[in-house]
Amino acid sequence: MPEFRIQIERLTDEQERFEFEASPEWWSAREPESEEIRVSAELPFRFDLKASRTGEDVLIEGDLEGRVLLECGRCGKRYPHRLREPYRLVLEPHRLGDDQQGNRSTFDGAGGLDPEGERGLAENGVSLGEDLEAGLYRGAVVGLDDFFGEVIALAMPIQPLCDEECLGVCSHCGQPRANDSKAGCDCQDEKIESPFAVLAQLKQRMED
Ligand SMILES: [Zn+2]
Ligand SMILES: [Zn+2]
């Protein structure tokens, strides 16, 4: 049973606002493997959205806001990372008859849905398209759990950095190195090291 639901019949062509909050528990139940991403308990994922219906098509648009604790790719420190991601999803009704007729070939090219699409429709009433901007719905209720999960994944940084200028950790003491905007360790060697050596080590670290 999806946690985040919108009832189709209630929607009109005027945008209605919905506010959904996805808790850290929701995330860890969904992604038990992803230990490296911890959701900040003070600021759960917020999906502030507007939904409307034109004929049978449903339009959902809004923004994700959230804060996760990520591990910096350079110094390994955990830091709060703010997530922001706009999204827009257009859903068309899926009808059982469409499969045989092959009318809805937009999503699979062959008529009929792939197993993932079928699972989505059975569990959430929604089958998402490849690009995450379009999909199909079936039944009276649209469940947005899978969609929200995808939006969160999309918002995650590819290389998390605690600070754009992060210089990683000191090879002597293991503490974060100082940079122009941040205090670091007190190792003398580090301080007198030439900028070129620092850059070389930084490059090395990025290649590792
Ligand atoms: Zn860092
Ligand atoms: Zn040091």
Residue 185 and residue 125 share a domain: no
pLDDT in tens for each of the 208 residues of the chain? 889 999 999 999 999 999 999 988 888 888 877 666 666 656 789 999 999 999 999 999 999 999 888 889 999 888 999 999 999 999 999 876 555 444 544 454 445 678 888 889 999 999 998 888 999 999 999 999 999 999 998 998 989 999 888 989 888 888 888 877 777 788 865 445 556 666 777 777 777 7
Number of domains in the chain: 2
Q: Indicate the pTM of the whole model.
A: 0.76
Same domain for 85 and 40?
yes
Q: Does residue 168 share a domain with residue 146? A: no
208 Cα: distance to centroid of ligand 2 (angstroms): 20
Which ligand gives the minimal distance to the CA of 184? Answer: 2
127 and 176 inside one domain = no
Interval between CA 177 and ligand 2 midpoint (Å) = 7
Q: Collect contacts of 176-179 with beta carbons under 8 A, ≥24 apart.
A: 176/75, 176/77, 177/75
Cα gap 126→146, rounded to integer Å? 9
- Asked if residue 142 and residue 42 are part of one domain, the reply reads yes
Domain that holds residue 96: 5-155
Find the 110 Cα to ligand 2 centroid distance in Å: 61
Query: Residue 169 Cα, ligand 2 centroid: separation in angstroms?
Result: 8
Q: 3-class DSSP state for residue 180?
A: coil
Which of 129, 155, 181 corresponds to the end of one domain?
Answer: 155
Domain edge (last residue) among 114, 131, 155: 155
Give the pLDDT confidence of 84-138 residue by residue, as tens digits: 999 999 999 987 655 544 454 445 444 567 888 888 999 999 999 888 899 999 9
The DSSP string of 113-130 is --HHHHHHHHHHSEEE-T
**CA 167, CA 164: separation in Å to the nearest integer?**
9
90 shares its domain with 118: yes
140, 118 Cβ separation under 8 angstroms: no
Residue 143 vs residues 7, 140, 188: alpha-carbon distances, Å = 9, 10, 58
**Cα-to-centroid distance, 65 and ligand 1 (Å):** 22
Same domain as 168, residue 87: no
Residues at Cβ < 5 Å from ligand 1 ion: 72, 74-75, 162, 166
Helix and strand numbers, DSSP H then E, in the chain: 6, 9
Q: Do residues 117 and 184 both lie within one domain?
A: no
- DSSP assignments along 40-109, one per residue: -SSS-EEEEEEEEEETTEEEEEEEEEEEEEEE-TTT--EEEEEEEEEEEEEEEE--HHHHHHT--TTTTS
Q: How far is the CA of 25 from the centre of ligand 2 (A)?
A: 38
Q: Write down which residue in 115, 135, 155 finishes a domain.
A: 155
Ligand 2 centre distance from Cα of residue 80 (Å): 24
How far apart are the CA of 166 and the centre of ligand 1, in A? 5
Q: In this structure, are 142 and 52 located in the same domain?
A: yes
Distance between Cα 124 and ligand 1 center (Å): 39
Tell me, what's the pLDDT at 188?
62
CB atoms within 10 A of CB 158: 5
Pair 26, 121 in one domain: yes
Which ligand is in closest contact with the Cα of 193? 2
206 with 110, same domain: the answer is: no
- Give how far Cα 186 sits from Cα of 75, 172, 174, Å: 16, 10, 11
- Cα(161) to ligand 2 centroid in Å equals 20
**pLDDT at 198 (0 to 100):** 66
- State residue 36's pLDDT score: 60
Q: How far apart are CA 68 and CA 38, in angstroms?
A: 6
Residue 149 sits in the same domain as residue 203: no
Distance between CA atoms of 61 and 59, rounded to whole angstroms? 7
Of the listed ligands, the closest to the CA of 174 is: 2
Chain mean position to CA 48: 14
